[in-house]
Protein backbone atom coordinates (compact mmCIF):
# COMPACT_ATOMS: atom_id res chain seq x y z
CA UNK A 1 0.00 0.00 0.00
CA UNK A 2 1.53 3.31 -1.12
CA UNK A 3 1.24 6.02 1.54
CA UNK A 4 0.23 9.24 -0.19
CA UNK A 5 0.44 12.87 0.87
CA UNK A 6 -1.16 15.74 -1.00
CA UNK A 7 -0.02 19.33 -0.70
CA UNK A 8 -2.66 21.88 -1.58
CA UNK A 9 -5.72 19.73 -1.70
CA UNK A 10 -8.45 22.35 -1.96
CA UNK A 11 -8.29 22.97 -5.70
CA UNK A 12 -9.80 20.97 -8.49
CA UNK A 13 -6.74 18.81 -9.11
CA UNK A 14 -6.70 18.10 -5.39
CA UNK A 15 -10.28 16.89 -5.15
CA UNK A 16 -9.77 14.91 -8.35
CA UNK A 17 -6.76 13.17 -6.84
CA UNK A 18 -8.92 12.27 -3.86
CA UNK A 19 -11.69 10.97 -6.09
CA UNK A 20 -9.29 8.78 -8.09
CA UNK A 21 -7.30 7.56 -5.10
CA UNK A 22 -10.49 6.61 -3.26
CA UNK A 23 -10.92 3.82 -5.76
CA UNK A 24 -7.23 2.90 -5.98
CA UNK A 25 -6.62 -0.46 -4.37
CA UNK A 26 -2.93 0.10 -3.62
CA UNK A 27 -2.81 3.68 -2.38
CA UNK A 28 -3.92 5.36 0.79
CA UNK A 29 -4.06 9.10 1.38
CA UNK A 30 -2.58 9.71 4.81
CA UNK A 31 -2.12 13.48 4.72
CA UNK A 32 -3.56 16.41 2.83
CA UNK A 33 -2.54 19.96 3.51
CA UNK A 34 -4.13 23.36 3.20
CA UNK A 35 -3.10 26.34 5.25
CA UNK A 36 -6.43 28.08 4.80
CA UNK A 37 -8.61 25.06 5.57
CA UNK A 38 -6.55 23.34 8.25
CA UNK A 39 -8.78 21.31 10.50
CA UNK A 40 -11.62 20.97 8.04
CA UNK A 41 -12.57 17.42 7.11
CA UNK A 42 -12.10 17.00 3.37
CA UNK A 43 -15.64 15.72 2.98
CA UNK A 44 -16.98 18.97 4.44
CA UNK A 45 -15.43 20.85 1.55
CA UNK A 46 -16.20 18.19 -1.04
CA UNK A 47 -19.42 16.42 -0.16
CA UNK A 48 -19.01 13.97 -3.03
CA UNK A 49 -16.30 12.42 -0.84
CA UNK A 50 -18.59 11.86 2.16
CA UNK A 51 -18.17 8.26 3.21
CA UNK A 52 -14.84 7.93 1.44
CA UNK A 53 -12.39 9.83 3.62
CA UNK A 54 -14.14 10.00 6.92
CA UNK A 55 -11.02 10.35 9.04
CA UNK A 56 -9.17 12.76 6.79
CA UNK A 57 -8.94 16.50 7.42
CA UNK A 58 -6.82 19.22 5.90
CA UNK A 59 -3.72 19.98 7.91
CA UNK A 60 -1.00 22.63 7.95
CA UNK A 61 1.89 21.50 5.74
CA UNK A 62 4.45 19.70 7.89
CA UNK A 63 7.54 18.25 6.30
CA UNK A 64 7.80 15.64 8.99
CA UNK A 65 4.37 14.27 8.19
CA UNK A 66 4.83 14.56 4.45
CA UNK A 67 8.31 13.09 4.64
CA UNK A 68 6.82 9.95 6.16
CA UNK A 69 4.80 9.37 3.00
CA UNK A 70 6.00 7.23 0.14
CA UNK A 71 4.97 9.89 -2.33
CA UNK A 72 3.69 13.45 -2.15
CA UNK A 73 1.58 15.07 -4.85
CA UNK A 74 1.75 18.83 -5.25
CA UNK A 75 -1.58 20.22 -6.39
CA UNK A 76 -0.47 23.78 -5.81
CA UNK A 77 0.17 27.04 -7.63
CA UNK A 78 3.64 27.34 -9.08
CA UNK A 79 6.44 28.06 -6.64
CA UNK A 80 5.30 25.80 -3.81
CA UNK A 81 6.93 22.65 -5.08
CA UNK A 82 10.17 24.56 -5.62
CA UNK A 83 10.23 25.30 -1.92
CA UNK A 84 9.41 21.87 -0.57
CA UNK A 85 10.46 19.23 -3.08
CA UNK A 86 14.12 19.12 -2.14
CA UNK A 87 13.45 18.48 1.50
CA UNK A 88 11.01 15.71 0.74
CA UNK A 89 13.38 14.02 -1.66
CA UNK A 90 16.04 14.17 1.00
CA UNK A 91 13.64 12.41 3.34
CA UNK A 92 13.28 9.61 0.83
CA UNK A 93 9.83 10.66 -0.36
CA UNK A 94 9.07 10.70 -4.03
CA UNK A 95 7.48 13.84 -5.45
CA UNK A 96 4.86 14.15 -8.19
CA UNK A 97 4.34 17.79 -9.00
CA UNK A 98 1.15 18.74 -10.83
CA UNK A 99 2.22 22.38 -11.03
CA UNK A 100 4.51 23.93 -13.61
CA UNK A 101 7.55 24.07 -11.34
CA UNK A 102 9.63 21.40 -13.01
CA UNK A 103 8.16 21.21 -16.48
CA UNK A 104 10.64 23.46 -18.24
CA UNK A 105 14.20 22.22 -18.32
CA UNK A 106 15.64 25.69 -18.76
CA UNK A 107 15.33 27.74 -15.55
CA UNK A 108 15.87 30.98 -17.44
CA UNK A 109 12.92 30.31 -19.67
CA UNK A 110 10.88 29.34 -16.61
CA UNK A 111 11.75 32.63 -14.95
CA UNK A 112 10.70 34.54 -18.04
CA UNK A 113 7.25 32.98 -18.28
CA UNK A 114 6.52 32.89 -14.56
CA UNK A 115 7.95 36.29 -13.68
CA UNK A 116 10.09 35.05 -10.80
CA UNK A 117 13.38 33.24 -10.43
CA UNK A 118 13.32 29.47 -10.57
CA UNK A 119 13.33 28.26 -6.97
CA UNK A 120 15.04 24.91 -7.32
CA UNK A 121 17.26 24.77 -10.39
CA UNK A 122 19.44 22.14 -8.73
CA UNK A 123 16.60 19.62 -9.04
CA UNK A 124 16.00 20.12 -12.75
CA UNK A 125 18.50 17.49 -13.80
CA UNK A 126 16.67 14.72 -12.12
CA UNK A 127 13.13 15.94 -12.74
CA UNK A 128 11.38 13.71 -15.28
CA UNK A 129 8.65 15.02 -17.52
CA UNK A 130 5.80 12.72 -16.69
CA UNK A 131 4.36 11.93 -20.09
CA UNK A 132 4.38 8.13 -19.97
CA UNK A 133 3.88 7.78 -23.71
CA UNK A 134 7.31 9.38 -24.13
CA UNK A 135 9.16 8.86 -20.88
CA UNK A 136 7.89 5.64 -19.36
CA UNK A 137 11.31 4.19 -18.78
CA UNK A 138 12.62 7.32 -17.09
CA UNK A 139 9.53 7.56 -14.94
CA UNK A 140 10.14 4.08 -13.55
CA UNK A 141 13.28 5.18 -11.82
CA UNK A 142 12.36 8.76 -11.11
CA UNK A 143 12.10 10.46 -7.72
CA UNK A 144 10.70 13.73 -9.02
CA UNK A 145 8.00 13.96 -11.68
CA UNK A 146 6.74 17.06 -13.46
CA UNK A 147 3.23 16.17 -14.53
CA UNK A 148 2.54 17.74 -17.94
CA UNK A 149 0.02 20.54 -18.29
CA UNK A 150 -3.39 19.92 -19.76
CA UNK A 151 -2.92 21.67 -23.11
CA UNK A 152 0.58 20.19 -23.47
CA UNK A 153 -0.74 16.65 -22.94
CA UNK A 154 -3.45 16.88 -25.57
CA UNK A 155 -1.22 18.74 -28.01
CA UNK A 156 1.95 16.69 -27.72
CA UNK A 157 0.15 13.36 -27.96
CA UNK A 158 -1.54 14.58 -31.12
CA UNK A 159 1.60 15.84 -32.83
CA UNK A 160 4.07 13.17 -31.69
CA UNK A 161 3.43 10.49 -34.31
CA UNK A 162 3.89 13.02 -37.11
CA UNK A 163 7.01 14.64 -35.72
CA UNK A 164 8.76 11.48 -34.58
CA UNK A 165 8.28 10.07 -38.05
CA UNK A 166 9.51 13.25 -39.71
CA UNK A 167 6.25 13.53 -41.60
CA UNK A 168 5.25 17.09 -40.69
CA UNK A 169 6.94 20.34 -41.47
CA UNK A 170 7.97 21.37 -37.94
CA UNK A 171 8.15 25.05 -38.79
CA UNK A 172 4.43 25.73 -39.18
CA UNK A 173 2.47 23.88 -36.53
CA UNK A 174 -0.78 25.26 -35.21
CA UNK A 175 -2.58 24.17 -32.06
CA UNK A 176 -6.06 25.63 -31.80
CA UNK A 177 -7.12 24.46 -28.34
CA UNK A 178 -10.34 24.73 -26.40
CA UNK A 179 -10.61 24.24 -22.68
CA UNK A 180 -13.39 23.94 -20.16
CA UNK A 181 -13.50 26.43 -17.34
CA UNK A 182 -12.13 24.15 -14.63
CA UNK A 183 -8.74 24.65 -16.24
CA UNK A 184 -8.71 28.08 -14.64
CA UNK A 185 -8.87 26.52 -11.20
CA UNK A 186 -11.02 27.10 -8.16
CA UNK A 187 -9.79 30.57 -7.34
CA UNK A 188 -12.40 33.31 -7.01
CA UNK A 189 -12.06 35.42 -10.14
CA UNK A 190 -14.58 37.40 -12.11
CA UNK A 191 -13.39 35.85 -15.34
CA UNK A 192 -14.40 32.35 -14.23
CA UNK A 193 -17.88 33.20 -12.96
CA UNK A 194 -20.79 31.30 -14.41
CA UNK A 195 -22.36 34.52 -15.66
CA UNK A 196 -19.13 35.50 -17.42
CA UNK A 197 -18.33 32.20 -19.12
CA UNK A 198 -21.61 30.43 -19.80
CA UNK A 199 -23.24 30.88 -23.21
CA UNK A 200 -20.08 32.47 -24.60
CA UNK A 201 -16.86 31.49 -26.33
CA UNK A 202 -13.59 33.36 -26.62
CA UNK A 203 -9.90 33.03 -27.28
CA UNK A 204 -7.43 34.26 -24.68
CA UNK A 205 -3.72 34.77 -24.27
CA UNK A 206 -3.16 34.76 -28.01
CA UNK A 207 -0.03 36.80 -27.42
CA UNK A 208 1.53 34.03 -25.38
CA UNK A 209 0.41 31.39 -22.89
CA UNK A 210 2.61 29.68 -20.31
CA UNK A 211 1.96 26.31 -21.86
CA UNK A 212 3.59 27.43 -25.11
CA UNK A 213 7.22 26.85 -24.03
CA UNK A 214 6.26 23.53 -22.46
CA UNK A 215 4.65 22.30 -25.64
CA UNK A 216 7.47 23.60 -27.76
CA UNK A 217 10.03 21.84 -25.59
CA UNK A 218 8.23 18.55 -26.01
CA UNK A 219 7.73 18.92 -29.74
CA UNK A 220 11.37 19.86 -30.22
CA UNK A 221 12.38 16.63 -28.58
CA UNK A 222 10.05 14.70 -30.85
CA UNK A 223 11.14 16.52 -34.00
CA UNK A 224 14.80 16.39 -33.16
CA UNK A 225 15.15 20.11 -33.82
CA UNK A 226 13.48 23.46 -33.76
CA UNK A 227 9.77 23.83 -34.21
CA UNK A 228 7.54 26.77 -34.97
CA UNK A 229 4.26 26.58 -33.11
CA UNK A 230 1.29 28.93 -32.98
CA UNK A 231 -0.82 28.12 -29.95
CA UNK A 232 -4.24 29.72 -29.51
CA UNK A 233 -6.15 28.68 -26.38
CA UNK A 234 -9.89 29.26 -26.09
CA UNK A 235 -12.40 29.06 -23.25
CA UNK A 236 -15.51 26.99 -23.90
CA UNK A 237 -18.56 26.84 -21.64
CA UNK A 238 -18.16 23.47 -19.99
CA UNK A 239 -16.52 22.34 -16.78
CA UNK A 240 -14.17 19.63 -18.00
CA UNK A 241 -12.44 18.81 -21.21
CA UNK A 242 -9.83 19.95 -23.68
CA UNK A 243 -10.18 19.66 -27.41
CA UNK A 244 -6.99 20.27 -29.37
CA UNK A 245 -7.39 20.84 -33.09
CA UNK A 246 -3.92 20.47 -34.52
CA UNK A 247 -2.74 21.52 -37.96
CA UNK A 248 0.46 20.46 -39.69
CA UNK A 249 1.69 20.30 -43.24
CA UNK A 250 2.64 16.80 -44.29
CA UNK A 251 5.81 16.38 -46.29
CA UNK A 252 4.81 13.07 -47.84
CA UNK A 253 1.22 12.55 -48.87
CA UNK A 254 1.68 8.87 -49.59
CA UNK A 255 1.97 7.80 -45.95
CA UNK A 256 -0.98 6.07 -44.29
CA UNK A 257 -1.49 8.40 -41.36
CA UNK A 258 -4.13 6.23 -39.71
CA UNK A 259 -1.74 3.30 -39.61
CA UNK A 260 1.03 5.54 -38.33
CA UNK A 261 -1.06 6.76 -35.41
CA UNK A 262 -2.42 3.33 -34.58
CA UNK A 263 1.03 1.83 -34.53
CA UNK A 264 2.51 4.61 -32.42
CA UNK A 265 -0.07 4.08 -29.68
CA UNK A 266 -0.76 0.37 -30.08
CA UNK A 267 0.59 -0.47 -26.65
CA UNK A 268 -0.53 2.61 -24.82
CA UNK A 269 -3.31 1.85 -22.33
CA UNK A 270 -4.52 5.44 -22.20
CA UNK A 271 -4.33 6.66 -25.80
CA UNK A 272 -7.15 5.69 -28.12
CA UNK A 273 -6.81 6.27 -31.85
CA UNK A 274 -10.32 6.26 -33.29
CA UNK A 275 -11.25 4.86 -36.73
CA UNK A 276 -10.85 6.90 -39.93
CA UNK A 277 -13.35 9.74 -40.15
CA UNK A 278 -14.05 10.00 -36.42
CA UNK A 279 -14.61 13.14 -34.38
CA UNK A 280 -13.76 12.55 -30.72
CA UNK A 281 -15.99 14.31 -28.22
CA UNK A 282 -14.62 15.56 -24.91
CA UNK A 283 -17.50 13.90 -23.09
CA UNK A 284 -16.25 10.50 -24.20
CA UNK A 285 -13.29 10.98 -21.82
CA UNK A 286 -15.10 12.85 -19.04
CA UNK A 287 -13.70 11.57 -15.77
CA UNK A 288 -11.47 9.05 -17.54
CA UNK A 289 -7.69 8.94 -17.95
CA UNK A 290 -7.80 8.74 -21.71
CA UNK A 291 -6.54 10.78 -24.63
CA UNK A 292 -8.77 10.00 -27.58
CA UNK A 293 -7.82 11.18 -31.05
CA UNK A 294 -8.55 11.05 -34.75
CA UNK A 295 -6.47 12.05 -37.76
CA UNK A 296 -7.83 13.69 -40.91
CA UNK A 297 -6.47 15.02 -44.16
CA UNK A 298 -9.33 17.20 -45.52
CA UNK A 299 -9.81 17.25 -49.29
CA UNK A 300 -6.73 15.01 -49.50
CA UNK A 301 -4.57 18.10 -49.26
CA UNK A 302 -1.25 18.77 -47.59
CA UNK A 303 -2.73 19.76 -44.29
CA UNK A 304 -3.25 17.10 -41.66
CA UNK A 305 -5.74 17.82 -38.92
CA UNK A 306 -5.45 15.92 -35.66
CA UNK A 307 -8.33 16.06 -33.18
CA UNK A 308 -7.23 15.17 -29.66
CA UNK A 309 -9.36 15.24 -26.51
CA UNK A 310 -8.71 14.72 -22.82
CA UNK A 311 -10.34 15.50 -19.52
CA UNK A 312 -8.11 18.30 -18.31
CA UNK A 313 -8.47 17.19 -14.69
CA UNK A 314 -7.68 13.52 -15.39
CA UNK A 315 -5.31 12.74 -18.25
CA UNK A 316 -4.47 16.45 -18.15
CA UNK A 317 -3.62 16.47 -14.42
CA UNK A 318 -4.61 14.14 -11.60
CA UNK A 319 -5.16 10.97 -13.56
CA UNK A 320 -1.82 11.31 -15.29
CA UNK A 321 -0.28 11.96 -11.89
CA UNK A 322 -1.68 8.68 -10.58
CA UNK A 323 -0.52 6.95 -13.75
CA UNK A 324 2.98 8.21 -12.99
CA UNK A 325 2.69 6.97 -9.42
CA UNK A 326 1.70 3.53 -10.65
CA UNK A 327 4.74 3.40 -12.92
CA UNK A 328 7.11 4.68 -10.25
CA UNK A 329 5.97 2.11 -7.71
CA UNK A 330 5.94 -0.84 -10.07
CA UNK A 331 2.18 -1.21 -10.01
CA UNK A 332 -0.07 -2.03 -12.92
CA UNK A 333 -0.18 1.27 -14.78
CA UNK A 334 -3.98 1.12 -14.99
CA UNK A 335 -4.70 0.67 -11.30
CA UNK A 336 -7.45 3.03 -10.16
CA UNK A 337 -7.72 4.46 -13.67
CA UNK A 338 -9.62 1.83 -15.60
CA UNK A 339 -13.16 3.19 -15.26
CA UNK A 340 -15.03 4.41 -18.34
CA UNK A 341 -15.84 8.04 -19.03
CA UNK A 342 -19.22 9.33 -17.92
CA UNK A 343 -21.55 9.84 -20.87
CA UNK A 344 -23.98 11.50 -20.93
Q: Using CB under 8 A, which residues numbered 154 to 183 contact its own copies?
A: 172, 174, 176, 178, 180-182
Active site residue 291: no
- Comparison of 173 and 223: residue with beta carbon closer to its own copies: 173
Q: Which residue pairs from 89-92 have beta carbons closer than 8 angstroms and sit at least 24 positions apart in sequence?
A: 89/123, 89/143, 89/144, 91/63, 91/66, 91/67, 92/67
Nearest to 65 by CA among 41, 29, 96: 29
Per-residue binding string, its own copies, 47-86, x by CB under 8 A, is xxxxxx----------------------------------
Residue 288 binds to its own copies (criterion: CB under 8 A): yes
Q: Which residue in the list 69, 150, 177, 291 is annotated as catalytic?
A: 150
Residue 35 binds to its own copies (criterion: CB under 8 A): no
Q: Provide DSSP, 116-140.
A: S--S-GGGTTT-EE--HHHHHHHHH
- Comparison of 30 and 173: residue with beta carbon closer to its own copies: 173
Q: Provide DSSP, 80-122.
A: HHHHHHHHHHHTT-EEEE-SSTTT-S-HHHHHHHHTS--S-GG
- Comparison of 116 and 200: residue with beta carbon closer to its own copies: 200
| Shortest Cβ 324–its own copies spacing (Å) | 20
- Comparison of 37 and 101: residue with beta carbon closer to its own copies: 37
Please tell me whether residue 44 adopts helix, strand or coil conformation.
helix
Q: What are phi and psi of 165, to 5 degrees?
A: -90, 0
| Shortest Cβ 63–its own copies spacing (Å) | 29
Residue 224 binds to its own copies (criterion: CB under 8 A): no
C-alpha dist (Å) from residue 161 to 129, 166, 185, 272, 279: 18, 9, 31, 13, 18
Residue 186 binds to its own copies (criterion: CB under 8 A): yes
Per-residue binding string, its own copies, 82-121, x by CB under 8 A, is ----------------------------------------
CB atoms within 10 A of CB 214: 26
The DSSP H or E segment spanning 15 is helix 12-22
Total residues found in the chain within this entry: 344
| Shortest Cβ 205–its own copies spacing (Å) | 8
Tell me which of 38, 193, 224, 226 binds its own copies, using CB under 8 A. Answer: 193
Q: What are phi and psi of 282, to 5 degrees?
A: -65, -30
Q: Which stretch binds its own copies (CB under 8 A): 56-64, 138-146, 152-160, 191-199?
A: 191-199
Tell me which of 59, 156, 217, 284 binds its own copies, using CB under 8 A. Answer: 284
Tell me which of 245, 318, 320, 323 binds its own copies, using CB under 8 A. Answer: 245
Residue 258 binds to its own copies (criterion: CB under 8 A): no
Residue 256 binds to its own copies (criterion: CB under 8 A): no
- Comparison of 140 and 210: residue with beta carbon closer to its own copies: 210
Cα within 13 Å of Cα(240), Cβ side: 24
Indicate which residues carry an active-site annotation.
150
Amino acid sequence: MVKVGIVGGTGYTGVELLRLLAQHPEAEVVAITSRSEAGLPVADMYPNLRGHYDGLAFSVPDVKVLGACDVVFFATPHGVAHALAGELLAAGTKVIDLSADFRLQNPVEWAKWYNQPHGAPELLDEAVYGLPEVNREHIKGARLIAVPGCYPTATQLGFLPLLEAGLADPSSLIADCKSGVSGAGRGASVGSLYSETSESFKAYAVKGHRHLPEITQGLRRAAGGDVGLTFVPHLTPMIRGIHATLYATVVDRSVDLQALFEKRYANEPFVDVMPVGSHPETRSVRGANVCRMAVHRPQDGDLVVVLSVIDNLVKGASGQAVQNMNIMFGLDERLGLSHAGMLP
